[in-house]
């Protein structure tokens, strides 16, 4: 492909309020933190910024509040060269906020308050049909109303645009939606929930539930009617079933500082390389590099790498592939 990839992203736009500490408190406990920062985030905006830094032309479809955070986040998206023509402002609503706690080793816990993201209605999504129709790939997640996700996917499906669904936070999804996507990218816990596991599943829930990730992939293939499935397994790498080929890629061995936005950057890398005409297996390997670089840095959008950094990235693989 001689032209840049064209990516449309329908999703959340948040301000991340991030604190770091040696460990996270248990209920009723107070611990002393190390650092506090305000960093633009939201799964949708993270994916949009990541794709733009990887060289794509990006259109963002979302909603911010009529507050200082909203103005700051819009300015930030435009500064990345992202088309914000279809980012609405809900004047009487606060912008979405994510409260993120990061502990030593990079693991995090997140509470999201949707705010203006809930005001991204199907009608507002329909107004962005031009942007979706002109894209190579539509990226969607689940931090906006499900009916709005469905509208975006319906528009893309109608115009023959590829759809990548990042099913986070995991929720029960209708078959009518799943049958219109081309690729689904859950992590281990999300894959379990999507195939009937407990909504409060832990990271090792697949073992507790008696199912393997491979079994979840098989069930997702059935539910989607044959869409590609890529399951990210953190430090264990990636498992996938793409175009009838099953495989596993090990993770890169890096020093993790913060896992925030790793999944978002992975999805962006996948969308960009796929849009550029790369086979999906190659796109997965590229996306793994993007995700690996992301976890070596602190914050959401502050951690997202540029294309030249990804292409120059070299690191050994871990010894424990998924």
Identified catalytic residue from 264, 308, 319, 320:
264
Phi/psi of residue 3, nearest 5 degrees:
-100, 160
Instruction: Tell me how far apart the alpha carbons of residues 263 and 260 are, in angstroms, rounded to a whole number.
Output: 8
> Is 264 noted as a catalytic residue in this protein?
yes
The residue among 239, 221, 234 whose CA lies nearest residue 294 is: 234
Q: Which helix (H) or strand (E) holds 14?
A: strand 14-21
Q: Could you tell me how far CA 244 lies from the centroid of its own chain?
A: 24
DSSP string, 115-178: GGGGG--HHHHHTTHHHHHT-SEEEE-SSS-HHHHHHHHHHHHHTT-EEEE---S-----HHHH
Instruction: Tell me how far apart the alpha carbons of residues 134 and 155 are, in angstroms, rounded to a whole number.
Output: 11
Residue tagged 């294309």 (tokens): 307
Just list the catalytic residues: 264
């Amino acid at each position: 492909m001689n032209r840049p990839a064209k990516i449309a992203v329908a999703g959340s736009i948040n301000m991340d309020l991030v604190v770091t500490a040696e460990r996270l408190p248990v209920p009723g406990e107070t611990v002393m933190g190390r650092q506090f920062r305000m960093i633009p985030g939201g799964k949708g905006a993270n994916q949009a910024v990541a794709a733009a830094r990887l060289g794509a032309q990006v259109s963002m479809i979302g909603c911010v509040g009529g507050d200082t955070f909203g103005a700051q986040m819009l300015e930030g998206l435009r500064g990345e060269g992202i088309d914000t023509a279809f980012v609405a402002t809900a004047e009487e609503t606060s912008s979405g906020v994510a409260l993120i706690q990061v502990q030593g080793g990079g693991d995090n816990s997140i509470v999201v308050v949707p705010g203006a993201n809930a005001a991204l209605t199907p009608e507002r999504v329909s107004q962005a049909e031009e942007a979706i129709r002109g894209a190579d790939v539509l990226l969607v997640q689940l931090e906006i109303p499900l009916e709005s996700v469905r509208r975006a996917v319906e528009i893309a499906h109608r115009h023959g645009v590829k759809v990548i669904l990042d099913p986070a936070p995991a929720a029960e999804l209708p078959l009518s939606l799943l049958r219109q996507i081309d690729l689904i990218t859950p992590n281990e816990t999300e894959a379990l929930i999507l195939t009937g596991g407990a909504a409060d599943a832990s990271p090792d829930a697949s073992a507790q539930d008696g199912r393997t990730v491979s079994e979840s992939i098989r069930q997702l293939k059935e539910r989607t009617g044959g869409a590609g499935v890529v399951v990210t397994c953190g430090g264990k790498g990636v498992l996938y079933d793409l175009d009838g080929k099953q495989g596993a890629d090990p993770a890169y061995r890096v020093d993790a500082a913060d896992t925030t936005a790793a999944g978002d950057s992975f999805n962006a890398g996948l969308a960009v390389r796929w849009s550029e005409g790369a086979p999906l297996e190659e796109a997965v390997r590229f996306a793994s590099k993007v995700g690996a670089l992301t976890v070596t840095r602190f914050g959401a959008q502050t951690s997202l790498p540029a294309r030249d950094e990804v292409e120059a990235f070299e690191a050994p693989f871990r010894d424990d592939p998924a």
